[in-house]
Amino acid sequence: TELANSLLYLDGVTVSFDGFRALNNLSLVVGHGEMRAIIGPNGAGKTTMMDVITGKTRPDKGDVLFHGAHDLTRLDEAAIAELGIGRKFQRPTVFESHTVLDNIVLALEGPRGVFSSLFARLTGPQRDRIDEVLDTIRLGERRNELAGSLSHGQKQWLEIGMLLAQDPALLLVDEPAAGMTDAETAETAVLLRRIAETHSVVVVEHDMTFVRDLGVRVTVLHEGSVLAEGSLDQVSADERVIEVYLGR
Ligand code: ADP
């Protein structure tokens, strides 16, 4: 069934804030190994959906299942992160006064991590993992530079790398292309497609050029529900989607 094959399964999820329904009977299925783009106008409920998945917001009703089994609505944020759901927020929060490498090491080591020359104490597999992550985010050659010296786009990639270091089963990525140059935006799509070869990913994004570059299935949210789902070409040809975006 759909549920058995799903990595993430939302069914009938409703969230109200003072009687206002930010999510209204939202249902969404993300398969194992899938990358999905979530789009929709401001206020559609995209952030609230991410908050529900990560346990930051508890729904009034509905099911949120991970691996078809774990009921995320009964778990707190720490327990959900522990299950392997990692979230990257829109604004990068790297440690600017530490090197690119130390940022990744800290993410890998978690709270036990202590800065500076920690790399030397890591095991072989841990080092391999870090090299792999640095390669994926294309910052291998900048590993010894301070994170603060990176461009905005590179900081976003570093933060994605910090998530990857923890090898989550599902990455939630919030507007990765926000504030990027066109070149960085294009490179970010390549980077996420590479990550999607080995990870499941949910990307919330406004930039349609970027969503097109991702080339994945798109879910359009509107007023807290799914309005349309399909390829970007399919959903952009949908009259209801056009109406919502152009206000006709
Ligand atoms: P999006 O991320 O798609 O822009 P949001 O999930 O941020 O949409 O918001 C959906 C709706 O819920 C909006 O109308 C927003 O004002 C409302 N909302 C979100 N969070 C809260 C909150 N904590 N309290 C009250 N209203 C909220």
Ligand 1 centre distance from Cα of residue 4 (Å) = 31
Residue 222 has pLDDT above 90, yes or no: yes
pLDDT for residue 119: 64
Share of the chain above pLDDT 70, in %: 94
Q: What is the mean pLDDT of the chain?
A: 91
* Atom of ligand 1 minimally distant from the CA of 18: 25
Give the residues surrounding ligand 1 with Cβ less than 6 Å away. Answer: 17, 22, 40, 42-48
Ligand 1 centre distance from Cα of residue 45 (Å) = 6
Q: Could you tell me whether strands 200-204 and 170-174 are parallel, antiparallel, or unpaired per DSSP bridges? A: parallel
Span 151-183, pLDDT tens digits: 999 999 999 999 999 889 999 999 999 889 999
Span 234-243, pLDDT tens digits: 999 999 999 9
> If you take atom 20 of ligand 1, which residue's CA is the nearest one?
48
pLDDT for residue 107: 85
Residue 130 to residues 80, 111, 122, 138, 166, Cα–Cα distance (Å):
23, 17, 10, 12, 10
pLDDT for residue 111: 52
Which of the listed residues 23, 46, 48, 220 should we mutate to test ligand 1's pocket, taking the one with most ligand atoms within 8 A of CB?
A: 48
> If you take atom 25 of ligand 1, which residue's CA is the nearest one?
17
pLDDT for residue 226: 97
pLDDT for residue 117: 55
pLDDT for residue 232: 95
Place 89 in a pLDDT band, splitting at 50, 70 and 90. Answer: confident
Ligand 1 centre distance from Cα of residue 58 (Å) = 14
Distance (Å, whole) CA 132 – CA 182: 26
Ligand 1 centre distance from Cα of residue 167 (Å) = 30
Span 105-139, pLDDT tens digits: 888 876 555 544 566 677 888 888 899 999 999 99
Give 112's DSSP letter. Answer: G
- For the chain, list the domains and their CATH numbers: 1-83+216-248 (3.40.50.300), 90-207 (3.40.50.300)
